[in-house]
Chain A
Amino acid sequence: QQQVKQSPQSLIVQKGGISIINCAYENTAFDYFPWYQQFPGKGPALLIAIRPDVSEKKEGRFTISFNKSAKQFSLHIMDSQPGDSATYFCAALVDQAGTALIFGKGTTLSVSS
């Protein structure tokens, strides 16, 4: 019940295309859903996050779509660029003291030029 399932494991997208990464969860107590971006040799960096009271959040070319009833959320990268090539992790958290993020297994995105 604590798992976050992420798909696909890897993704190849043409420059200018839309990249879509999906995550699913079981624990309905989760109330914070971030996405992290990791470049080779670096630690993960917070990209964008959403709370379950909204269905969508957009920051630049990055959008989170959230479906509370389906217990799913996804990251959309519009106009994908070669510089977006990285590993992306979804995560979930119960926002209370003494808890930690539960991460998906990651998606390696390659944007070809």
Chain B
Amino acid sequence: DVKVTQSSRYLVKRTGEKVFLECVQDMDHENMFWYRQDPGLGLRLIYFSYDVKMKEKGDIPEGYSVSREKKERFSLILESASTNQTSMYLCASSLRVAQYFGPGTRLTVL
């Protein structure tokens, strides 16, 4: 079974803090993704990566950056957290088309 793990289930941060969300997959997948999920808005793609050190902007990259130094790990960085970044963050990985999601990190920015 594919396993995608995220470093925290719940996270509370202050406005202006730098926040790191970590994602690790154990299936040697080429592709990794970060989404945020908000009620009524569905899943919106923030960034994705199809190879180590490669990244592509998704639909809502503003205020975020990513890092992929190793194939199995994809990090989402909030450079200066703001209250409008309070959300559920979901990481996913895929070999080709089927994406497998982690359990999510619920981030609250106060």
Chain A residues with a Cβ under 8 A of chain B = 6, 9, 32, 34, 36, 41-46, 49, 89, 93, 95, 97-98, 100-106
Contact = CB atoms under 8 A, between A and B. Distances in A.
Contact of B42 (A45, A49, A100, A103): A103
Instruction: Specify which of A49, A95, A100, A103 lies most central, judged by the most chain B CB atoms within 10 Å of its CB.
Output: A100
Interface of B: 4, 31, 33, 35, 40-45, 48, 50, 56, 58, 90, 92, 96-104
Contacts of B48: 100
Contacts of B104: 41-43
A104 B99 contact: no
Contacts of A41: 103-104
Interface of B is mostly: strand
B43 A103 contact: yes
Closest CB pairs A-B (n = 5): A43-B101, A105-B42, A103-B43, A32-B97, A100-B48
A106 B45 contact: no
A89 B42 contact: yes
Given A103-B43, A106-B42, A43 B4 contact: yes
A40 to B, nearest CB: 11
A93 B45 CA distance: 13
A25 to B, nearest CB: 14
A104 B98 CA distance: 16
Given A42-B103, A43-B90, A89-B42, A100 B58 contact: yes
Contacts of A9: 40
A106 B40 CA distance: 8
A34 B92 CA distance: 15
Contacts of A44: 43, 90, 101
